[in-house]
Amino acid sequence: MNALLLDLLPYVHKGYCCSQLLLALARQLDDTDNAGLMCAMRGLCHGIGQSGGPCGLLTGGAAVLGWLSSKNEEEPHPMIDAMTNEYATWFMERTQAFGGTGCENVSSGLAAAAGEPLPEGGMPPMELCGDLLAECWEKILDIHESYDLESARS
Quickly state the pLDDT bin for 1 (edges 50, 70, 90). low
Angle at which helix 56-69 crosses helix 18-30, to 10 degrees, equals: 20
Are 153 and 68 within 8 A, CB to CB? yes
Q: Which amino acid is at 144?
A: H
Residue 104: closest CA among 54, 42, 43: 54
Question: What global pTM score does this model have?
Answer: 0.90
**pLDDT tens-digit map of 105-120:** 999 899 888 888 877 7
Is 56:133 a contact under the CB 8 Å cutoff? no
With 0-12 CB in 10 A as exposed, 13-18 as middle and 19+ as buried, what is 26? buried
Q: What is the percent of the chain with per-residue pLDDT over 90, rounded to a whole number? A: 51
Give how many domains the chain has, as a whole number.
Answer: 1
Domain that holds residue 104: 3-151
What would the pLDDT profile of 20-66 be if each residue is shown by its tens digit?
A: 999 999 988 877 778 889 999 999 998 998 888 999 999 999 999 99
pLDDT in tens, 134-143: 999 999 999 9
